[in-house]
Amino acid sequence: MQGSSQCGILFSAMKKLVFLLFMILAAVGVVMAVIWFEKRSNGNENLSNTAKNTVQGEDLHPDDTDRDGLSNAKEKELGLSATTFDTDGDSLDDASEIDVWKTDPKKADTDGDGVRDGVEVMDKTNPRGR
């Protein structure tokens, strides 16, 4: 009886050791992935939109506050938000809704079918319903 008790304790200790080794290997893998990504990146991923759109402190797009590709004046003319790049919240920026997809940047679901325009674009269906 004592032998089976010792085997149970040994087996339990081995399970804990295997789990600990697995966790260490997982942590090492995460660290390696982060190092690899940092080496491959060009250093711009952590910059804000404002920082990416400036050269030595000079704003490259002073008339486009939300950096969506439409000037503040154009957004005002169209009734869009100059401070939110995606006025209707459908995951398509205002400029691409107008210039690329020909959808309504004020309606999250241009064709009214119950599916947001951004989802339809990702699903490769027509957000205009045609």
pLDDT tens-digit series, residues 40-56: 654 444 444 444 555 56
**pLDDT-above-90 percentage for the chain:** 38
- Rounded-to-5 percentages of helix, strand, coil across the chain: 50, 5, 50
User: Where do we find the tokens 């269906």?
Assistant: 125
Higher pLDDT, 103 or 33: 103
pLDDT reading at 16 higher than 70: yes
Q: Does the pTM of the predicted model rise above 0.85? A: no
> Average pLDDT for residues 112-117, to the nearest whole number?
94
Q: How far apart are the C-alpha atoms of 115 and 95, rounded to whole Å?
A: 20
